[in-house]
Structure 1
C-alpha cells in the first residue's frame, strides 16, 4: 500500500484537537499529525479498565469453577494468564504516541499488501467481541424493561454504535465516567458476594486433569487480556510524541489487569451460582429491588461503553484492508453484523458457545503479535525513530510476515482445545490449551529468520 493510499481523503477526516473536544471524529487510518496530539498517559488506565470489567469477565471466571478448580488454584491460573496477556497489550499501546497510528494500520509495515488477511480477521474479531459483551447487555436491558431479548439487544447495539461513530475523544470521556460507575457497582457486588456466598476452595479434579484444567483456565484468562493487542494503539494514537513510554505501559497494564482480574475473581468465587444466567444471577444475588435494578442498568451501560471500542477498532480494521468507507460508516457495519451473532449465542448452550467463540477469535492474535513485535524491534533497534509514511515507501515484501503469521497459526492447531476441535497435544495433556503460547513463539522465530534473510530493497519516495 503506497503513500497515496495512506493519505487518501476517505482515510483522513475531522479530528479532535484537545482533551474535551467532542467533535464527531471522521478521521480514519492516516497518522495523527502533531497539531492534533493531546492528553496524558493516565487516560489509558480508564480506557482499558471500564470496557473490561463486564459480565463477560465475570462469566469467564465461572468457567474455572466449571472446570473443577477451587478458588485458590483458579485464582493463580487467572492471575498468570491475565498478566501474560496484558503485557503485549501494554507494550503495543506505547507505539501510538510514537507513530500517531492505530494498530492494524501499523501492521502494514511488515505485512504490506498481505495485511488484508489479519485486517479481515480483526474486523471479524471486533464483531465477535460485540457479541460476547452485547449478549449480557441485551439480557440486562430485557430484564430491566421487560422487552423481548432481540429488541433489547438492538437498543444496546444502537447506543454503542453511536458512541463508536463519535470516535476517539468521546470514547475516552465515556470510559472515564464509566470507570467510576462500574467500580462503585462492583464494590457493592463484591461485598454482597463475599458476604453471603460460600466459596468453593477445594479442587474437584486431580492429577493430570487438574494440570489440564489449570492450563486451560489460564489460557482463557490470557485470551481475554491479549485480545486487546490488535486494538492497543488505536486508543493511544492521539497522545503526544513526548508521552512517557514507561507510564503509558504501566497505565495500560494496570487498566487491563485490574479490570479482568476483578471480574474473573467474582465469577470464580460465585462458581455455578451464576451459571448460564449470569445477568439474572447478579440481580438475584443483590436481592432484586432497587439494587438489582441499578445492577441491570449498569450491566447494560457497560456493554454499550465496551462495545463502542470494538466498533471503533473494527472500522479502522475495515479501512486497513482497503475498503473505502468512512470510519463512522464502517462502525455501523460492524454493529449490524454483531446482532445476528448475539441471537445465535443466545439460542442455547451458552457456556460452550461462549468458550468456543472466546478462544477461537483469539488464536490469531499471538501469531500477529509475534510478527509485528519482531518487525518493530528491527525498525527501532539502536534507538532509531521512523516516520510511518516514509517507512511505507521502503520496498519490502509482505509475504515473509504473512507466511510467519500462517506458520504460527498452523503450529498452534495441535495445542487447541475447544468443543469444536481438540488437537492431539491438548488431548494428551488432559485438555490443556497451549495454542496461544505456541503461536506467539513460532511466528516470532520464523519472522526473525525471514527478516535476517530478506532485507528491504530501497526507498521509493513520492
Structure 2
C-alpha cells in the first residue's frame, strides 16, 4: 500500500470496527489546540475589545466563556470512542432518521460560515505576502485547504501536530512584541455586566460551534479509551488553546483594533519586521486545520442526511466530489463577501450559538442522562432502525427552544426585548441550555428505560 493510500481515509459515516481503531488520546489535544490556536480565534478574542471592554475584563470574559463552552464540546468528544460514529449521525437517536436532517442543515450552514471566515482572513494576507490580488489569495488558500480535506482524518491529525508547535512559537513571538505596546490609557468604553455577558456568550459560542465536529476526530480511538481521558485532552486542548490565542487577539485590538479588523495576519506579521515573512506564513498555516475541518465535517454531516448504501462503499470518490463542490461554493461566497471581519465574526458566531445550543443540550442529555451511552449503533445507520423516521416531540422542543431564546438575543442584527431590559446582556444560551435539557429529559424518560442496555451492533 502506498503512503498516499495509507494516509487517505477510506471510511465515511459508517461505524469504525475495533480492528481499525488506532491512536492515542493525546492526539485530541494537538488537534484541538491547533484548531483553536489560530488567527480566527484571535479575531474572536478581539471582538471583546471591539464591544468596549477593558483588557482585564475582556481577558476574564475569554477565560469564563471558553471554559464553560469547552465543557460541552469535550463531553461530546467522549461519545466518539464509545459509538465509533461521526458526531451528527448520533442525532438520529433523538430526532429520528429523517428528523435529524434539521440539525444537519444547521451544521452544514455553520461549516460554510467558518469556511468563508477563514478565506476572509487568509485572502488579504496572502495577497500582501505574495503580491497578488485579494481574490487570488482566497483561491490559493482554498486550494491548500481542499487538499488536506480530501485526505481526511489522518492528514488533518498529522497537520495539526506540526502546526500546533509552529503556531505556538509564532504567537509567542507576537505576544512578546505586543505586550510592549499596550496603551497605558486604554480602559474600555463599556465596562459593565451587560457587555461582559455578551462577550462571554460569544466565547461560549466559539466552543459550542466545535461540538458538531468532535466525535468525528475521536471515533477512531480504541473503544477501551477512558472517557475521562478523552474528555480532558479535548477540554484542555480546545479550552486553553482558545484562551491563549484570544488573549493575544484582545491585546492586539487594544493596540490597533482597526488593523485587526482590516487585515489581522498582515498587521501581526509586520509587527516584527525582521521575520515578518515567516510570521505571516505561520499565521496562514494556523488556519489550515480548522479550515480543513469545515469541508470534511460538512461531507460527513451531509452524507448522514442521505446515507444511501452505495455511497458508503465509495468514500474516497464521494469525499472528492462533495469537498470540491463545497470548496467552490465557499470560495464564491468569500469573494463576494465584504471584508468586515470583526462584525462578521460576531454575527456568525452568535447566530450559530442560538441554533446549536438546543441541539447540544438535547444530544448530551440523551447520551448522559437518558440512555447512559447505550445505543443500537447499527440501528443508527439503518432507515428501518429502532429510532424511527421522525421524532416530532424532539423537533418541537428544538424549535420552541430557539423561539424562547429570541427575546434574550443581543447582536448587531437584532436585540430582543429582554436583552434590552437587561442592558444588552445576552443570556440566550443559558435559557436555551436549561429549557432544552429539562424539556427533553422529562419527555425522553417516559419513552425509554433510563440506563437500559441496548445492543451495540458489534
TM-score where L is the length of structure 1: 0.88
What residue number does 1:45 align with?
29
What residue number does 2:301 align with?
317
- 1:164-179 → structure 2 map (5 Å cutoff): 164-179=149-164
Distance 1:100 1:193 in 2: 44
Contact 1:72 1:201 in 2 (8 A): no
Q: Deviations over 1:345-386 (max 9, x none)?
A: 3x25433223112211332111101111111135543xx644
The reply to whether residue 331 of structure 1 matches residue 323 of structure 2 is yes
Contact 2:44 2:342 in 1 (8 A): no
Q: Structure 1 residues 404, 297: closer, same or farther in 2, change over 3 A?
A: same
- Match of 2:195, SS? helix
Q: Deviations over 1:394-420 (max 9, x none)?
A: 244522221111111111111111222
Unaligned runs of 5+ in 2: 312-317
- 1:392-403 → structure 2 map (5 Å cutoff): 393-396=385-388, 398-403=391-396
What residue number does 2:107 align with?
122
Contact 1:137 1:301 in 2 (8 A): no
What residue number does 2:16 align with?
32
* Aligned equivalent of 2:89, options 93, 100, 105: 105
Distance 2:131 2:399 in 1: 47
What residue number does 1:7 align with?
none
* Aligned equivalent of 2:442, options 444, 449, 452: 449
What residue number does 2:359 align with?
368
* Aligned equivalent of 2:75, options 91, 115, 123: 91
Distance 2:353 2:169 in 1: 30
Contact 2:374 2:455 in 1 (8 A): no
Name which of structure 1's ranges 109-118 and 60-69 shifts more when overlaid on structure 2.
60-69
Note the C-alpha offset of 1:184: 0.7
What residue number does 1:142 align with?
127
Distance 1:304 1:390 in 2: 35
Distance 1:337 1:61 in 2: 28
Distance 1:238 1:460 in 2: 20
Q: Structure 1 residues 298, 460: closer, same or farther in 2, change over 3 A?
A: closer
* Aligned equivalent of 2:221, options 214, 232, 239: 239
- Match of 2:175, SS? helix
Note the C-alpha offset of 1:199: 5.9
Contact 2:92 2:387 in 1 (8 A): no
* Aligned equivalent of 1:248, options 181, 206, 230: 230
Q: How many residues align?
A: 436
Q: How big is the alpha-carbon RMSD for the aligned residues of Structure 1 and Structure 2?
A: 2.5
Note the C-alpha offset of 1:63: 1.6
The reply to whether residue 351 of structure 1 matches residue 342 of structure 2 is yes
What residue number does 2:54 align with?
70
TM-score where L is the length of structure 2: 0.89
- Match of 2:23, SS? coil
What residue number does 2:315 align with?
none
Note the C-alpha offset of 1:211: 1.0
